[in-house]
């Protein structure tokens, strides 16, 4: 039986941990290695023994020892991907040879590098790395590929796409979640399901991560969203460190309790991650195999997503902001031709602020390379915002590139009833996932009647089915014509909406504004037409969210239709809307308060560095710094803008309002602004003899260096020589630099509770080495008391305090 058939007919039991089991062999002195994959060549017997243990325990699938067998990790040791995978698969084959009905899965996990735009690794390169692994796996005869322990949805997409485009193997994909139930890069479980189902994986799920309670909750969340089989491989609880070794405390029977509950709830593929051993798998198999698996539960929801969040388009209508489109907009055209991404970002921000749930992105303009501009624009928008996008182009090459690189499941505008168009667009939707807008026109044009448009919608849905696309991924646009020239058809469009909803049971979408072309008071016509469409069952309104009358119609309709419970959002939005203007608010904010209050999300003021940092508008930060330096000192800018903005970003990160990509972007925005401030400091400082030498570092394990860099710049400005050792600096490096430069002051920075311990170690090592100079410590998590307790001579709360300390130490 093929793996796919086995998955359809019953439970699949995966094996348990490879990595933590190997650790126990290492701890007992049995074997050693730099990376576990090396053991496929140096100690195949051990790997085979572990596989056999799991097979004896009843695992249906064993995972090859290839978790990190990618070209980056192997190159460091001089191995090729092919030889390691070949060895790993051959061990697995030997192991399964004496068992019936077992499968070998190629295990694939993260490259260990951050993908661009957050990190340096381009998506296409990550894809190549995974393709190399998948090709080797298939060539050597694995039955399926398991992409697991992924903490970045984008990298997970690269891996799945690589497997699907290079092999015909089944692929199951598994994400790892943090305590806040998000992947490290922000994606929630619904988004993982939405995106992975869109890509056509055979099963989706989660592994590693938190404790069994968290796993249980995640299992139910996955089951609530997924139409395909769900997969789970939790750890044997949260690891604890005992006598210097990491131990997993959950015993096999307790582990099996959770797995049995999950199997009863509908999870199809069950296995163990860190800390699970063959006894856990045996207990799980014993408890779950007598159960009858629940039938799959296909969902009919129409969902799209960004890289972090999913929007399901249901009865409560959503707004698609239409303003990222050059049609009829001179300023927008100029921005596109000049490659001015900031202008596009500000258009996006203002629409999001006004209530858009999805943003349409159209960059079609004669004279530009639409595919590459679309690619860059989508990337810039995704780097900055969490809002899902509608990729809008009539060129299939443009859609292809944008959908390939889109981090999420996009709304795609559009397909229509022409065979040639359907045959170009549907393969893209099938490959990348997406909800596609189906325009009710075909080779014959736009039917004048609602029934004619309904027929085209039927035809499109049928053809989509031929490509394996479910009708839930089709959203029908019954086309708005201009009432001034085609008066009879305005209400046909409305009627078609209700026919499509009732007869086909699919969602609908409409660009509304075209109705009023050529008429005065367009907003009035648009908003009344919108209301009629909403009443007929419009699910997604493509409108200008900055139009008060359109938003008024939308919110009023939602309140009247009962989607806005107790009219709360209506009240919130419109209370005092006309009565109180911003200027006449009773308590005018002071300058500082303004900075600390909610930043204007699309800062129109070029010197609003606070908002610019908060929004991560990195290309605007240097200009802002220059403008501020005209009237403010560097210290005023740091204390009044940079520190409060980063504090705010940090709080938003902590409370789950912002995610790591946004944190990174804000940090980069600060770094750019700070370059300007540093240059200013350097050019204004009088060249003088050094007042003393200071060694500075962010301690080992900590990569936060913005604060340390500020302190360094300030100290240099005051005439001290600073030897900057950078970030993540081991104690030894601090020791040798201090000795080499005969520094009389050492400055250490740590920003995390976890790295303060390394600060203490570094101070201890300095003292033990006989260093008799002074040590100052700083960083947001430190306090005066704590700094003293870990042996620092001084604590500096900010950069100016560090100057005062240096003066004390050097006497000048």
Torsions phi, psi of 113, nearest 5? -115, 155
Helix axes 799-810, 706-717, angle to 10 degrees: 50
The rounded distance, in Å, linking the Cα atoms of 526 and 548 is 11
CB of 118 to ligand B12, least distance (A): 9
Angstrom distance (rounded) from CA 755 to CA 730: 11
Query: Nearest distance from residue 90's CB to ligand B12, in Å?
Result: 37
Q: Which is nearer to ligand B12, 514 or 633 (CB)?
A: 633
Stretch (H or E) spanning 693: strand 693-698
Name residues whose C-beta falls within 8 Å of residue 215's C-beta, 6 or more positions apart in sequence. 206, 209, 232, 234, 258, 262
**Under DSSP, is residue 706 helix (H, G, I), strand (E, B) or coil?**
helix
Q: Give 456 or 667: the residue with its C-beta nearer to ligand B12.
A: 667
The minimum distance between CB 677 and ligand B12, in angstroms, equals 12
| Closer Cβ to ligand B12, 184 or 312, answer by number | 184
Cα–Cα distance, 483 to 486 (Å, whole number): 5
Cα gap 573→508, rounded to integer Å: 26
Closer residue to ligand B12 in complex, CB, 93/761: 761
Task: Determine how β-strand 245-247 pairs with β-strand 240-242.
Answer: antiparallel
Please state whether the peptide bond connecting residue 155 to the residue before it is cis, i.e. omega within 30 degrees of 0.
Answer: no
Least separation in angstroms between CB 762 and ligand B12:
12
In the complex with ligand B12, which residue's Cβ is closer, 401 or 672?
A: 672
Nearer to ligand B12, 236 or 663 (CB): 663
Nearer to ligand B12, 279 or 639 (CB): 639
Q: Are 596 and 644 in contact (CB under 8 A)?
A: yes
CB 796 to ligand B12: min, Å: 3
> What's the rounded Cα separation, in Å, for the pair 91 and 317?
55
Min dist CB 637 to ligand B12, Å, is 11
Tokens of 141: 């005869």
What DSSP assignment string belongs to 569-590?
HHHHHHTTTTT--STT-SSPPP
67: three-class secondary structure by DSSP: coil
From CA 233, how far away is CA 216, in angstroms rounded?
11
Q: Helix crossing, 660-684 with 621-629: angle to 10°?
A: 40
Q: Closer CB to ligand B12, residue 69 or residue 643?
A: 643
- Nearest approach, Cβ of 377 to ligand B12 (angstroms)? 24
- CA dist., res. 640 & res. 637, Å (int): 5
562 class by beta-carbon count within 10 Å (0-12 exposed, 13-18 middle, 19+ buried): exposed
Query: Which of 31, 754 has the CB closer to ligand B12?
Result: 754
R_g (Cα) of the chain, nearest Å: 30
Q: Specify whether the CB–CB gap between 515 and 526 falls below 8 A.
A: yes
Of 270, 267, 292, nearest in space to 280 by CA: 270
CB 767, min distance to ligand B12, A: 17
* Least distance CB 152 / ligand B12 (angstroms): 11
Q: Which is nearer to ligand B12, 82 or 798 (CB)?
A: 798
- Residues in the site for ligand B12, rule: CB under 6 A? 184, 643, 646-647, 649-650, 653-654, 660, 663-664, 667, 696, 701-708, 710-711, 747-749, 751-754, 776, 778-781, 796, 798-799, 802
SS3 218: helix
Closest CB to ligand B12 among residues 558, 704: 704
Nearer Cβ to ligand B12, position 200 or 730? 730
Q: Give the integer Cα–Cα distance in Å for 625 and 663.
A: 20
CB burial string 257-284: b at 16+ within 10 A, e below: bbbbbbbeebbbbbbbbbbbbbbbbbbb
Please, what's the largest Cα pairwise distance for the chain?
Answer: 92
Task: State the minimum distance, in angstroms, from the CB of residue 675 to ligand B12.
Answer: 13
Cα-Cα-Cα-Cα dihedral sign, residues 670, 672, 675, 677: negative
The smaller minimum CB distance to ligand B12, of residues 156 and 461, is found at: 156
134 or 677, CB closer to ligand B12? Answer: 677
- The whole-angstrom separation of Cα 3 and Cα 6 is 5
CB of 216 to ligand B12, least distance (A): 24
Nearest-approach distance from CB 508 to ligand B12, in angstroms: 40
- 715 close to 689: Cβ distance less than 8 angstroms: no
Nearer to ligand B12, 539 or 802 (CB): 802
Q: Name which of 326 and 719 has its Cβ closer to ligand B12.
A: 719
User: Least distance (Å) from ligand B12 to the CB of residue 383?
Assistant: 13
Closest separation between CB of residue 208 and ligand B12, Å? Answer: 15
Distance of closest approach, residue 395 Cβ to ligand B12, in angstroms: 36
Beta strands in 236-285 (DSSP E): 240-242, 245-247, 269-270
Provide the 8-state DSSP code for 365. Answer: -
Task: Tell me if 390 sits within 8 A of 397, measured CB to CB.
Answer: no
**Shortest Å distance, C-beta 694 to ligand B12:** 9
């Amino acid at each position: 039986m093929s793996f796919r058939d086995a998955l359809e007919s019953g439970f699949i039991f995966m094996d348990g941990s490879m990595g933590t089991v190997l650790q126990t062999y290492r701890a007992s002195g049995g074997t050693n290695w730099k990376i576990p994959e090396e053991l496929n060549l140096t100690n195949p017997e051990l790997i085979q023994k572990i596989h056999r243990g799991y097979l004896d325990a009843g695992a249906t699938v064993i995972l090859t020892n290839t978790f990190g067998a990618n070209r980056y990790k192997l190159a460091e040791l001089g191995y090729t991907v092919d030889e390691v995978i070949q060895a790993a698969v051959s061990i697995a084959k030997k192991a399964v040879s004496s068992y019936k009905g077992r499968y070998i899965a190629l295990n694939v996990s993260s490259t260990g590098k951050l993908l661009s735009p957050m990190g340096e690794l381009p998506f296409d390169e990550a894809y190549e790395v995974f393709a190399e692994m998948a090709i080797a796996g298939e060539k050597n005869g694995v039955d399926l590929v398991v992409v697991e322990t992924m903490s970045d949805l984008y990298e997970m997409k690269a891996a799945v796409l690589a497997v699907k485009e290079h092999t015909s193997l089944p692929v199951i994909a598994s994400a790892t979640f943090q305590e806040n139930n998000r992947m490290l890069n922000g994606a929630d479980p619904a988004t993982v399901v939405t995106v992975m189902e869109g890509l056509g994986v055979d099963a989706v799920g989660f592994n590693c991560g938190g404790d069994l309670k968290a796993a249980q909750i995640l299992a139910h969340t996955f089951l609530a969203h997924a139409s395909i089989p769900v997969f789970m491989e939790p750890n044997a609880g949260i690891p604890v460190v005992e006598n210097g070794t990491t131990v997993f405390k959950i015993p096999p029977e307790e582990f099996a309790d959770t797995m049995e509950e999950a199997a009863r709830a509908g999870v199809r593929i069950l296995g163990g991650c860190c800390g699970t051993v063959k006894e856990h798998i045996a207990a799980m198999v014993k408890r779950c195999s007598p159960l009858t698996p629940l039938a799959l539960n296909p969902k009919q929801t129409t969902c799209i997503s960004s890289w972090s969040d999913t929007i399901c388009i249901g009865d409560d209508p959503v707004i698609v902001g239409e303003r990222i489109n050059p049609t009829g907009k001179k300023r927008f055209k100029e921005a596109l031709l000049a490659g001015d991404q900031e202008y596009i970002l500000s258009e996006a921000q203002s629409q999001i602020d006004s209530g858009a749930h999805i943003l349409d992105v159209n960059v079609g303009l004669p004279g530009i390379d639409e595919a590459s501009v679309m690619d860059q624009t989508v990337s810039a928008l995704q780097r900055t915002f969490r809002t899902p996008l509608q990729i809008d182009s009539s060129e299939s090459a443009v859609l292809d590139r944008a959908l390939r690189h889109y981090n999420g499941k996009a709304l795609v505008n559009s397909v229509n009833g022409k065979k040639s168009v359907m045959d170009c667009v549907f393969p893209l939707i099938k490959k990348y996932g997406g909800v596609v807008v189906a325009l009710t026109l075909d080779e014959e044009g736009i039917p004048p009647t609602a029934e004619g448009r309904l027929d085209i919608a039927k035809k499109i849905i049928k053809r989509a089915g031929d490509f394996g696309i479910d009708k839930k991924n089709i959203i029908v646009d019954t086309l708005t014509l201009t009432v001034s020239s085609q008066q009879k058809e305005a209400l046909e469009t409305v009627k078609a909406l209700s026919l499509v909803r009732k007869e086909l049971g699919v969602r609908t979408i409409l660009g509304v504004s075209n109705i009023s072309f050529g008429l005065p008071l367009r907003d009035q016509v648009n908003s009344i037409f919108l209301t009629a469409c909403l009443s007929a069952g419009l699910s997604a309104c493509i409108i200008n969210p900055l139009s008060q009358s359109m938003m008024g119609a939308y919110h009023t309709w939602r309140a009247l239709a009962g989607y806005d419970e107790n009219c709360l959002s209506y009240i919130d939005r419109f209370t005092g809307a006309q009565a109180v203007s911003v200027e006449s608010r009773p308590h005018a904010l002071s300058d500082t308060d303004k900075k600390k209050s909610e930043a204007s999300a699309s800062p129109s003021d070029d010197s609003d560095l606070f908002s610019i940092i908060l929004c991560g508008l990195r290309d605007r930060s240097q200009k802002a710094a220059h403008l501020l330096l005209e009237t403010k000192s560097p210290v005023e800018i740091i204390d009044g803008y940079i520190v409060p903005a980063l504090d705010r970003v940090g709080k938003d990160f902590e409370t789950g309002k912002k995610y790591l990509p946004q944190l990174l972007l804000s940090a980069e925005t600060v770094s750019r602004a700070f370059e300007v401030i540093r240059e200013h400091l350097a050019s204004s400082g009088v060249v003088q003899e050094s007042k003393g030498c200071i060694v500075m570092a962010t301690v080992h394990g900590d990569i936060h260096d913005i604060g340390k860099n500020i302190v360094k710049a300030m100290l240099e400005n005051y005439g001290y020589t600073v030897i900057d050792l950078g970030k993540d600096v081991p104690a030894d490096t601090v020791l040798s630099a201090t000795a080499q430069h005969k520094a009389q002051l050492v400055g250490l920075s740590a920003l995390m509770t976890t790295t303060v311990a390394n600060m203490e170690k570094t101070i201890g090592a300095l003292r033990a080495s006989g260093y008799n100079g002074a040590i100052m410590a700083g960083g947001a998590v430190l306090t005066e008391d704590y700094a003293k307790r870990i042996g620092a001579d001084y604590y500096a709360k900010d950069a100016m305090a560090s100057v005062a300390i240096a003066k004390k130490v050097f006497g000048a």
